[in-house]
Homo-oligomer: A and B are copies of this chain.
Amino acid sequence: MSGKLRVAMIGAGFMGAAHSQGWRVAPHFFDLPLEPQMQVIAGRTPGAVAKAARKWGWAESATDWREVVARDDIDLIDIVTPGDSHAEIALAALEAGKHVLCEKPLANSVEEAEAMAAAAVRAAAIGIRSMVGFTYRRVPAVTYARELIASGRIGTVRQVRAAYRQDWLRDENGPMTWRLEKERAGSGALGDIGAHAIDLAEFITGLRLDRVTGTLDTIVRERPLLGEGVGLSGTASHERGTVTVDDVAVFAGRFEPVDGYSPIGSFEATRFATGRKNALTIEVSGSRGAIAFDLERLNELELIDASGSELDQGFRRILVTEAQHPYLAPWWPAGHMLGYEHGFSHQVVDLVTAIAEGTDPHPSFAEGLHVQQVLAAVEESSDHEGRWTSVG
């Protein structure tokens, strides 16, 4: 590694642990063109952020993100705060000439995301890079699925079936958390996990959604207020609060036309799919094959090649753990599994490489904005009796 890349992280919640692991581990497995330095982490609460710094391996901690953004000894700002502060921080960071990695969703509104995407374009013109953190693109099986489809392996894409299903709101007495408040979270199941399903569908197929029809709903509308809580669910008190975000979203979309036909996609995002813990699933049906993926089995990809005899066709379960599979070479021998966090190392690899090579990393803020526009179009459709609504 010829140079350093001095990183500051803004935010000290759950996603911070995952991003930190990415920064820490990637250099030990991949040959990076720049050496990341885990310089400083910024958070609101002095004690908590100092503890996070120690635990996650950041050299320093800070409580004022503006000061961090202004520091000369920082090259990159990694934003892992809740979505309501993404825009402000990212705009300040780009303005200050820092590269930016911003956790998804890009922002809590299309307007914010537009400003961010515009700022990213201006920054790119002077060599400042920005990227939004849809890390599931970097699960090797997902990247490989995209490669298979891009190479024509399944023929023309005809249909997409995607869903992200969890069940952590199943218990109607589970407490309120910030993720259930519209002001903080921006959106509910749609924005939090539906966004992943959208990005995954677009990434794997290489196609963009043009228009959507959809319905949002809140299955459980009142929940006990959070007492002293930690983590995603927390513990409950006796008072009750109102859930102001959706907890289920069912929608459909049309992708841009391929060979004259606009493939149809069905989507679902829910936190009430009892027994499904993290089931981000996608199936893409093509004219000569299909692929299927489930994040709960993230080292596996199912593929059917329907171009030969019908007699021996069937979905095959590929363990995407061979050295030649995307991102795999530096890890373990074939058949040894990767986990959730490896995507964060891969994200670091791609981002650092793009910065070193002077290219624009993906997903760009423009791509993040597009996902935001899809989310907004789904909400608008839901507000208008489910009518088909154009994206953007």
Q: In the complex, which residue of chain B has the Cβ closest to the Cβ of A319?
A: B277
Task: Determine the distance from Cα of A56 to Cα of B264 in the docked complex, in whole angstroms.
Answer: 42
Task: Determine the distance from Cα of A288 to Cα of B266 in the docked complex, in whole angstroms.
Answer: 26
In the complex, per-residue mask of A279-304: 1 if CB is within 8 Å of any chain B CB, else 0: 10001011111100000111100111
Contacts of A148 in B (CB 8 A): 312
Contacts of A340 in B (CB 8 A): 332, 336-338
Known: A21-B25, A270-B159, A278-B335. A314 touches B318 (CB 8 A): yes
Whether A237 is near chain B, meaning CB under 8 Å from some CB there, is no
Whether A14 is near chain B, meaning CB under 8 Å from some CB there, is yes
Contacts of A275 in B (CB 8 A): 285, 289-290, 304, 306, 313-315
Task: Determine the distance from Cα of A272 to Cα of B337 in the docked complex, in whole angstroms.
Answer: 20
Known: A159-B272, A161-B268. A322 touches B310 (CB 8 A): yes
Whether A55 is near chain B, meaning CB under 8 Å from some CB there, is yes
Give the A interface residue count (CB, 8 A). 95
Please tell me how many copies of the chain the complex holds. 4
Flag the segment in A42-50, A74-82, A164-172, A180-188 that touches B. Answer: A164-172
* Chain A 372-389 interface residues, beta-carbon cutoff 8 Å to B: 381, 385-388
Flag the segment in A114-122, A211-219, A352-360 that touches B. Answer: A211-219
Residue pair A314, B316 in contact (C-beta under 8 Å): yes
Residue pair B28, A20 in contact (C-beta under 8 Å): yes
Residue pair B250, A264 in contact (C-beta under 8 Å): yes
Whether A236 is near chain B, meaning CB under 8 Å from some CB there, is no
Q: Of B24, B171, B333, which contacts A232 at CB under 8 A? A: B333
Q: How far is the CB of A344 from chain B (nearest CB, A)?
A: 11
Whether A274 is near chain B, meaning CB under 8 Å from some CB there, is yes
Known: A273-B285, A287-B172, A337-B298. A312 touches B303 (CB 8 A): yes
Q: How far is the CB of A111 from chain B (nearest CB, A)?
A: 26
Residue pair B339, A316 in contact (C-beta under 8 Å): no
Q: Closest 6 CB pairs between A and B?
A: A277-B335, A278-B335, A339-B339, A316-B316, A275-B304, A314-B316
- Add 18 more A-B contacts to A167-B285, A172-B287, A385-B387 (CB < 8 A): A14-B333, A18-B332, A20-B28, A28-B57, A171-B287, A215-B264, A231-B323, A266-B266, A274-B286, A275-B304, A275-B306, A278-B334, A296-B335, A310-B334, A311-B325, A313-B318, A314-B317, A386-B387
7 interchain pairs, CB-CB under 8 A? A24-B28, A158-B272, A159-B273, A232-B333, A275-B304, A277-B334, A314-B319
